[in-house]
């Protein structure tokens, strides 16, 4: 037993070190190369273009990548535990579709032009929240929440929201279409420090709260009935965890757009390396997601520099390739 805890602790320390190394490499990478040994002096001077780049562009991006990547991966681990389905991810339940529809409405109606770009994340979070409420209410029957019904309703809500957004794109101007598509592909270029603080606080709070539910999540792996026999209030646990996962996803999508595969592939990798015990899996998934998104952001900024690729493109390609490789290994092992 002690050996297992040592193994978990060592792996968590390794993940934390990888996150720190990725952050250090990210802060020095970009169109303007900044040597690591020069960074302390740049911060001491508090002036110059390099100081502005570090404090207004790169550090905010690193912090946002840390929070969003960690939150999406944590949400994926939670939802996969609730539904006992390895293919469930944060966007399965229609939350991203609702957020995208909310942003599309804000852009098409021109609200962000009148009241500022801050309305884009407000519209995204409002759309995500309405989708969350709709999925929950339609899944609630006879005092209980049917998780299979919830999953199906979430998929249908996602389809309806996507179709509605396509309709808006079909009747609006080409300029609005460009803005909608750019937002959908995801970006960590968020200049509003208030939104970054909210995302960091929300992601860390979600991690802290979810850790207290590690034991119920371990019990839910056996099924709801067996979890009840172990003294777990499965209905209450599912409701709370679903609310946490949905709010985290809504905040991430509203601030950074749709960034796929983080919540699907990272929990798989952590689970395959260290097992399915949620006492470790939650924190491991959070750190793994943070590392993955920081690395993807580096690639997005440097592959075609000075231009930048949407972060969702990088996560989709890298995540898809990794997922296919993992499935291939499982198939070989099964043969």
The pLDDT assigned to 290 comes to: 94
Q: Which of 301, 321, 314 has the alpha carbon at shortest distance from 29?
A: 301
Tokens representing 331?
A: 């198939």
- pTM of the full structure: 0.88
Q: Which helix (H) or strand (E) holds 265?
A: helix 262-274
Q: What is the CA radius of gyration of the chain?
A: 20
Averages of pLDDT over runs of 10 residues in the chain (335 residues) are 73 91 86 75 76 83 93 91 80 80 85 70 84 81 71 85 87 84 82 87 93 86 73 80 86 85 88 84 93 92 81 85 74 45
The pLDDT assigned to 72 comes to: 92
Tokens representing 325?
A: 């490789």
The pLDDT assigned to 143 comes to: 61
Q: What are phi and psi of 128, to 5 degrees?
A: -65, -40
Tokens representing 208?
A: 């802290």
The pLDDT assigned to 116 comes to: 63
**CATH of 2-334 among 1.10.3470.10, 1.20.120.430, 3.40.50.970, 3.30.470.20:** 1.10.3470.10
- The CA distance from 105 to 123, in Å, is 8
- Given a contact cutoff of 8 angstroms between Cβ atoms, the answer to whether 74 and 203 are in contact is yes
- Given a contact cutoff of 8 angstroms between Cβ atoms, the answer to whether 108 and 226 are in contact is no
The pLDDT assigned to 249 comes to: 86
Tens-digit pLDDT profile for residues 63-84: 999 999 999 999 999 988 888 8
């Amino acid at each position: 037993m002690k050996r297992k805890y040592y193994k978990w602790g060592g792996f968590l320390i390794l993940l934390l070190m990888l996150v720190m190394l990725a952050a250090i490499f990210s802060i020095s990478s970009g169109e303007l190369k900044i040597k690591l040994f020069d960074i302390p002096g740049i911060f001491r001077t508090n002036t110059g273009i390099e100081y502005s780049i570090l404090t207004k562009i790169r550090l905010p991006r690193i912090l946002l990548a840390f929070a969003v990547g960690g939150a999406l991966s944590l949400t994926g681990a939670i939802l996969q535990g609730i539904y006992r389905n390895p293919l469930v991810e944060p966007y399965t339940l229609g939350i991203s579709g609702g957020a995208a529809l909310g942003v599309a409405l804000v852009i098409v109606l021109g609200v962000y032009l009148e009241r500022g770009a801050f309305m884009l994340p407000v519209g995204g979070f409002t759309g995500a929240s309405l989708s969350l409420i709709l999925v929950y209410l339609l899944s609630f029957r006879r005092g209980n929440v049917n998780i299979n019904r919830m999953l199906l309703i979430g998929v249908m809500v996602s389809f309806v929201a996507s179709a509605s957004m396509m309709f808006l794109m079909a009747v609006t101007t080409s300029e609005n279409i460009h803005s909608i598509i750019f937002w959908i592909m995801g970006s960590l270029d968020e200049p509003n420090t208030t939104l970054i603080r909210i995302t960091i606080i929300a992601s860390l709070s979600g991690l802290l709260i979810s850790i207290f539910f590690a034991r119920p999540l371990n019990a839910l792996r056996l099924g709801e009935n067996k979890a009840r026999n172990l003294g777990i209030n499965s209905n209450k646990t599912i409701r709370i965890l679903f609310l946490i996962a949905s709010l985290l996803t809504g905040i991430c999508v509203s601030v950074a757009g749709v960034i796929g595969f983080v919540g699907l592939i990272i929990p798989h990798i952590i689970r395959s390396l260290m097992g399915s015990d949620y006492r470790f899996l939650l924190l491991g998934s959070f750190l793994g997601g943070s590392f993955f998104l920081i690395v993807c952001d580096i690639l997005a900024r440097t592959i075609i520099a000075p231009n930048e690729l949407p972060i969702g493109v990088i996560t989709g390609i890298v995540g898809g390739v990794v997922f296919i490789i993992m499935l291939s290994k499982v198939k070989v092992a099964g043969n």
